[in-house]
Structure 1
Amino acid sequence: MSGLTHFDASGQAHMVDVGDKAVSRRRAVASGSIHMLPATLVLIRDGNHKKGDVLGIARIAAIMASKRTADLIPLCHPIALTRVAVEFALDEAASSVSISVTAECSGQTGVEMEALTAASVGLLTIYDMCKA
């Protein structure tokens, strides 16, 4: 790596020029988990949470967040996503929900920020829906 690409020679932040890069198929996977009380996990698992389908809403929030990444991360390029897949796994032994987000595009820059943003917002949505 040749240094920090988001800063010019005088140390000023700028958006990296990707115009000369070849278009290629890009794919990134991001994951995370959130831990909770066992009773909360049961409500999510059984679909009995008072606020509704927690995982369904978190899935939509994650997908929406991936599409808004460039609005949230100042130097992130807006990209045309071709696929965002969100999967959840419940772990009753750990009393947790895990998320895995796969983001894809054909473009001149990576798609990792979109996957990371989606995973973060998906988990934040679970927390928001389940807090007191």
Structure 2
Amino acid sequence: MDLKSATETGMWDVSDKTPTVRTARAYAILRMSPETALAVREGTVPKGDPLPVARVAAVMAAKNTPSIIPYCHPLPVESVKVRFSVGDDAIEIETETKTSAKTGVEMEALAAASVAALTLYDMLKQLDMGMTIESVRLVEKKGGKSDYQRNT
């Protein structure tokens, strides 16, 4: 039996890879009504300020990505940065993860951005059930054999 066939492969073997510094950036956007965005900016959300809560949730998501994504390698996540930009009708979320490991941290960056958006949604849903999470995407990854940067 050939264990490398597509239907029988499990976790990707990275044992022969060399650890390098690897970074990844991901992005998500939570669209909402102008009134909801104003409540975030003015600090009048009934459940409290959602941004610090979403920041902690993003860090936890990055650190726990292998627990929720099958075949995702456990990594020493050495840094997670989370930035929010509250606009007139949206909150933009950008996450950046970093490790020194044998494989990249793009899944951790994507998980962080996604969970930050979900946390914001949860804290704001009593104000606005029409919110949408959009454009969760990898923006950039560096380190290892291949770098990636989105052109848009």
Q: Give distance in 1, aligned partners of 2:99 and 2:14.
A: 15
Matches within 5 A, 1:1-132: 8-9=4-5, 11-92=7-88, 95-132=89-126
* 3-state SS, counterpart of residue 26 of structure 1: strand
Residue by residue over 1:100-122, the C-alpha shift from the partner in whole angstroms, topping out at 9 and shown as x without a partner, is 00000000000000000000000
Which aligned segments of 4 or more residues in structure 1 are displaced greater than 2 angstroms? none
Tell me the matched-pair count: 124
Q: Give distance in 1, aligned partners of 2:83 and 2:44.
A: 20
Q: Give distance in 2, aligned partners of 1:119 and 1:10.
A: 30
Tell me by how many angstroms 1:90 deviates: 1.3
* 3-state SS, counterpart of residue 16 of structure 2: coil
Provide TM-score, normalisation by structure 1: 0.90
Segments of structure 2 that go 5 or more residues without pairing to the other structure are 127-152
- Taking only the aligned residue pairs, the percentage that are identical comes to 43
Q: Which amino acid aligns with 2:81?
A: A
Segments of structure 1 that go 5 or more residues without pairing to the other structure are 1-6
Whichever structure has more helix as a proportion of its residues is 1
Distance 1:51 1:27, change over 3 A: same
Aligned alpha-carbon RMSD (Å): 1.2
Tell me by how many angstroms 1:9 deviates: 1.3
